[in-house]
Structure 1
């Protein structure tokens, strides 16, 4: 009979997520995973599979959390256009600039791995399609509320918003200073989501 697990799976996955997020996939060793999880090699692999399987599981959980967060912001905002602006401004929400320098696990992973890893590329495509769908709903709602032009194509604008937000995230990762990044974000948000 197999012994019951003596660890909290969610806690382990959060610790492993932070390790991959901070160091990247290639720079994260088995020893790093054992250290942050508190598990031995046998327990880690028995519970989660090899490093690649563990990484994909972490990435899927991160994407689900991101999708939930974006949907929550859009659904709970009194006006959808304000939620869309908040989405664009996410990379500059942290006044210390730490979040911008850390980037987004999804974007970081796609940059590092998608060209050589079909599984990561597929996860990234699926994730970005999901976020685009949520943003599209937000654009349509903003059009109904009269805050965005009815002539704008909701899917195209949603893709532009996502591309803008991810571009800001990337620029934050490269070390653009927080003041310049914030000014750029405000400029882009004003162009894509003009006040009517």
Structure 2
């Protein structure tokens, strides 16, 4: 009978995910993975497969968590327009700090591996399609609330908002100062989602 695992799989996966996020795929060695997970090579690979499979598991856990946070934030903000604007403004918030410099693991991984790894590229495509669908639902709610023009295409606007948000994330990785990054994010949000006049 197989011996039950004596480690917290989710905890190990998060530690491995952070390692890939900080260093990237190519620069992460087996020794790095063993160090952050606290597992030997045999245990690590028996539980998660080789380095590539482990990376894909970590990437999927990241996107699953990200979609959960996105779904909750978009659904629980009382006014849909505020949720959509925060999507663009959030990465430039001063409280983001080091997270802004770290970027998005999905975007980082797509840049590093997308041209050479079909599995990463396929996962990236599916991830961004899911994100677009979630944002599009919020755009439709903003239309019902009268804050977005009724003739706007929710999917097209959702893609534009996602592209703007990812652009802000990327610019944050370049070391752009917080004030400039915030001003850039506000400009994007104002152009894509102007606040309706109350006059």
Q: Same fold (TM over 0.5)?
A: yes
User: Using the alignment, how far apart are the partners of 1:17 and 1:94 within structure 2?
Assistant: 24
Counterpart in 1 of 2:8?
8
- Residue 173 of structure 2 corresponds to residue 168 of structure 1: no
Structure 1 unaligned blocks of 5 or more: none
User: Using the alignment, how far apart are the partners of 2:52 and 2:182 within structure 1?
Assistant: 35
User: Using the alignment, how far apart are the partners of 1:89 and 1:34 within structure 2?
Assistant: 37
Superposed displacement of residue 93, structure 1 = 2.5
Counterpart in 1 of 2:61?
61
Superposed displacement of residue 89, structure 1 = 1.5
Counterpart in 2 of 1:184?
184
- Residue 109 of structure 2 corresponds to residue 105 of structure 1: no
Superposed displacement of residue 121, structure 1 = 0.3
Q: CA RMSD in A?
A: 0.9
State the Cα deviation string for residues 117-149 of structure 1 (Å, max 9, x = none).
100000000000000000000000000000111
Structure 2 unaligned blocks of 5 or more: none
Superposed displacement of residue 90, structure 1 = 2.2
User: Using the alignment, how far apart are the partners of 1:157 and 1:96 within structure 2?
Assistant: 25
User: Using the alignment, how far apart are the partners of 1:150 and 1:82 within structure 2?
Assistant: 17
Superposed displacement of residue 79, structure 1 = 0.7
User: Using the alignment, how far apart are the partners of 1:96 and 1:170 within structure 2?
Assistant: 13
User: Using the alignment, how far apart are the partners of 1:71 and 1:114 within structure 2?
Assistant: 26
State the Cα deviation string for residues 81-113 of structure 1 (Å, max 9, x = none).
111111112211244631111001111111111
Spell out the pairing of 1:10-89 with structure 2 (5 A cutoff).
10-89=10-89
Counterpart in 2 of 1:128?
128
